[in-house]
Amino acid sequence: MPILPTHWGNLPPLFARERLHPAAIAQADRMLAEAGGKSEGKWCVAFSGGADSLALLLTVWTLWPERRSELCVLHFNHRLRGAESEADAVFCAEVCGEMGVEFHIGEWSDAKAGASEAEAREARLAFFETEMEAVGSRVLWTGHQKDDVAETLLMRIARGSGSAGLAAPRPVQTRADGRILLRPLLTLRKAEIVAALQKAGVTWREDASNAVGDFFRNRVRRDVMPPWRAAAGNDALGGAALTRELLDEDDAALNVWLAELLPEGGYDGDALDVRALEGKPRALWRRALRRWRPLAALGRAGFEEVLALCARGSGRTSAGEGVVEIGAGILRYMEKGGVGRGGWTEARLSVGTVLFLPDGGVLTMRVVAFTAELRRRIFAGQVDMAREAFLAEEPAAFCVRPWRTGDRYRPLGAPGSAALQDLFVNRKIPAARRGQLPVVIGEDGRILWVPGFPPAEESKTTSDSVTGLHLTYETGTCTVRL
């Protein structure tokens, strides 16, 4: 049974060019003009069989008839909905067969029940990239529309995204590898797309899983969007689309400003000259640091600490598997020493430094005055030795590392030093936990503190102590309690 009541070649456009996003249309026209009417390579179109992607395919088909022989339709079967997924694939193949366009299908070979939305998207995009490479295409059309803009905005606000993330999905997205994603339907509401298909007598596939709250986007679409739009009392989707456009403009402006201050090729090394950023808004610093290769994969907490370090203008802090320091306007990244127990390496701890350990633990040090009340609390044993220690030591840069075979430690009150391994055993600290505990080493090589034990006997607070150091330790993801 044909999907359209008329031949594909006689189908009028579903939407006039003026109703589509001008940036996407202009980019397509520009590519054709630059190539003398023949865009280099094929145009790939992502096609799920749903209303949006079918409307997209018909839009490209009708507005650029000269490109019909160079279209390549891509369908990815996630294999998450059983027979329904198979029916989607059959439908897409039939559509492309009637249109006479090239059709490529892929399947998620290792799909598993309960797969996350991110995993499914990653598998789908990997298929698109493979097929585009195979056919020599650098252009991919996708069917995102105005409802998707609002959903994405709400989802990313919940995750704490900045302007770059909140400006997605963009009408034209140029990737680092030179591929271009075009989204001409961003100016249209889902309801408008469905109405246009119905008017044309076109059938499409419905994904019943969209009504189930398994994925975050589905929950936002089902549970958040309807009351949000009703509460707004106006065109909330239009407002969200405008917000996306304005954020995109701001994001582009910040990128241009940053490019004027720092050279594009300066982010790949272990040193970054940030003198040009002095006195500039924090947003530019954040953007530059995110582009710097050593910090590209750094978690949010560690990244914020590096940003705070830059605001101070001097010092150093732990950054993942290395250390970042700043001085004279130059940021430097240094790998830590050889890998030790627990999968981490040496770092330096100084006053004001915050060390983020590989298991998510946090170690800090600050100067403290030994007031009468503080001395009373220390002498009374009212100190949680798993979380803090007071040392009668002068400020210095201490080494922090995992324990090593042969380490000896004399905790407060002990008659002499003992093997740290024996102390772990006596305290019944699990072997897996030992390698995650930071061992603080003084400049003379003595162990000053290990969380879970009192501080070193030689560093104890006395009635004559005036100032010293306060070390604090917060456990990370490890669930073992001392």
CB distance 81 to 65 below 8 Å: no
pLDDT above 90 covers a percentage of the chain that reads: 62
pLDDT at residue 413 greater than cutoff 50 = yes
Average pLDDT of 392-411? 88
Predicted local distance difference test score (pLDDT) of residue 38: 61
pLDDT at residue 105 greater than cutoff 90 = yes
- Alpha helices in 136-219, H assignment, sequence order: 146-159, 163-166, 190-200, 216-219
Predicted local distance difference test score (pLDDT) of residue 301: 87
Predicted local distance difference test score (pLDDT) of residue 101: 94
pLDDT at residue 442 greater than cutoff 60 = yes
Q: Can you tell me the distance from the alpha carbon of 455 to that of 383, in angstroms, rounded to the nearest whole number?
A: 11
Residue 7's pLDDT band, with cuts at 50, 70 and 90, is: low
Name the least confident of 60-69, 332-341, 432-441, 453-462: 332-341
Predicted local distance difference test score (pLDDT) of residue 343: 52
Check the annotation: does 49 bind a ligand: yes
- Maximum mean pLDDT: which of 108-112, 141-145, 172-176: 141-145
For residue 133, the tally of other CB atoms under 10 A from its CB is 12
| Bridge partners of residue 315, in order along the sequence | 326
Six token digits for residue 34: 């630059």
pLDDT at residue 447 greater than cutoff 90 = yes
pLDDT in tens, 322-334: 888 888 888 888 7
Average pLDDT of 309-330? 86
pLDDT at residue 1 greater than cutoff 50 = no
**How high does pLDDT run on average in the chain?**
89
Check the annotation: does 52 bind a ligand: yes
Predicted local distance difference test score (pLDDT) of residue 338: 39
Check the annotation: does 53 bind a ligand: yes
Q: Can you tell me the distance from the alpha carbon of 84 to that of 208, in angstroms, rounded to the nearest whole number?
A: 9
pLDDT above 70 covers a percentage of the chain that reads: 93
Residue 16's pLDDT band, with cuts at 50, 70 and 90, is: very high
Residues 6+ apart with CB under 8 A from 238: 146
Q: How far is CA 449 from the centre of its chain?
A: 36
* Residue 145 backbone phi and psi in degrees, to 5: -130, -175
Average pLDDT of 301-307? 92
pLDDT in tens, 49-98: 999 999 999 999 999 998 999 999 999 998 888 899 999 999 999 999 99
Residue 314's pLDDT band, with cuts at 50, 70 and 90, is: confident
pLDDT at residue 480 greater than cutoff 60 = no
Is cis: bond before 358, omega within 30 of 0?
A: no
Ordered structural domains, the chain, with CATH: 8-249 (3.40.50.620), 273-335 (no CATH), 343-474 (3.50.40.10)
Average pLDDT of 11-25? 95
pLDDT in tens, 234-282: 899 999 999 999 999 999 999 999 999 998 777 877 788 899 999 999 9
Q: Can you tell me the distance from the alpha carbon of 329 to that of 272, in angstroms, rounded to the nearest whole number?
A: 9
Predicted local distance difference test score (pLDDT) of residue 268: 77
Best CA proximity match to 446, nearest among 481, 371, 396, 377: 396
